Amino acid sequence: MKVLVATKALEVFDVLQGIEGVECQEALFTGQIYDTIPKVQLVIVDFGDLVQHPYSVEMLQGLLAESSIPSVSSEEFLAQPDKWLLEARGIAGEMARLPEKMSIAFVSYSGGTGKTALAMDTALHFARRTKMPVLLVEFTYGESAIAALTGLEMPYLFDLTTQLEAKAMRWRGVTLAPMDYDNCQDLSIQLIAKYLKGQMAQHVLTVVDSHWPHGLIGAIRDEVDRWFVVATPRPDAIENAKKLKKELDPKASIILNQKGGIADSLALTGLERALDLPQIRQVDRFEGHLGRQILSQAYGSQNWRRYEPQSLIARIGRRLGFGRGGH
């Protein structure tokens, strides 16, 4: 049995030391704890002892509250160690590894490439599949595309940044931070950065939808792990994507959206890109057809596959013996 010890209380180690079949894993940084949770059957944690990097303590509290793994403070554990160890022994083996913390941004010089729809489909699909917290941030110069696509009334970034009582709306598992540029342009980048970095610490995935260039994206530019430059088969969009990728290298790659038939394929000859996405009818239904492919690209197909339900064809194939070296 594996026990995660996230406390400075040395008495906990004294009790656990020498108990046959118990392996202690010590961690105080929130990131270490997040990575270790799937490997243990009991968590002993004093939240006041934790170091908040890169996640917030509040995010971990919520995660543990929803987890089937028992978690207990050092005081509670020391009062009844036998009870907690017995309960932990009834927990099944290791969980699937949780998705790593990541920030991805969809950008383009050109308008009409579909980056907002891609950002929303990606965020919503991540929330559906992982049940982990995901944040969607917008940097725009005009009206909020997030507000237009959802049809919701919600707090905008100006309110969220300047009013302590304002709370971001959570829609279908995704925390929304839409921008009202006319107001936000009067804020300092430092103030916006303080709010957004605090929010990013409470979410496993942050998805950014941004015009490029944008005067305020400097608030979180250094926090972005992957830049997805979105292009369509239009000649101007292709050329703009090449230029933007060069500007954002080495963490940038081109995603081709709305790819059509043979004519598009010929026009794209020589364009280095990470992913081709087809034209999708009713893309605003956000069913995950595009988000699934983007998340597979961001996390790696092998890592993301564990979150996707296996297809009926794959299940039938295994039942019939295909994929096992048979003929």
In a domain, 315, yes or no: no
Q: CA dist 25 to 16, 42, 279, Å?
A: 11, 10, 48
In a domain, 94, yes or no: no
- Residue 37 and residue 138 in one domain: no
Specify the DSSP class assigned to residue 22: -
pTM of the model: 0.89
pLDDT confidence tier of residue 234, bands split at 50, 70 and 90: confident
3-class DSSP assignment, residue 324: coil
CB atoms within 10 A of CB 97: 12
| pLDDT tens digit sequence for 137-184 | 999 998 999 999 999 999 999 999 999 999 999 999 999 999 999 999
Into how many domains does the chain fold? 2
In a domain, 319, yes or no: no
The pLDDT of residue 224 is 98
Longest dimension (CA), the chain: 72
pLDDT for 32 beyond 80: yes
pLDDT confidence tier of residue 265, bands split at 50, 70 and 90: low
- Residue 83 and residue 130 in one domain: no
Closest by Cα among 10, 193, 1 to 92? 1
- Residue 160 and residue 77 in one domain: no
Q: Quote the CA–CA distance of 273 and 296 in Å, as a whole number.
A: 15
- Residue 72 and residue 108 in one domain: no
In a domain, 198, yes or no: yes
Domain CATH number, residue 249:
3.40.50.300
The pLDDT of residue 260 is 76
pLDDT confidence tier of residue 262, bands split at 50, 70 and 90: low
pLDDT confidence tier of residue 325, bands split at 50, 70 and 90: very low
- Residue 281 and residue 233 in one domain: yes
- Residue 115 and residue 57 in one domain: no
Q: Which residue has the higher pLDDT, 234 or 229?
A: 229
pLDDT for 312 beyond 60: no
Q: Directed axis angle between helix 289-299 and helix 115-130, to 10°?
A: 80
- Residue 133 and residue 76 in one domain: no
pLDDT for 297 beyond 60: yes
- Residue 117 and residue 81 in one domain: no
Give the domain extent around 48: 2-89
Sheet holding 205-211, edge to edge: 169-171, 174-177, 134-139, 205-211, 102-108, 226-231, 252-259, 275-278
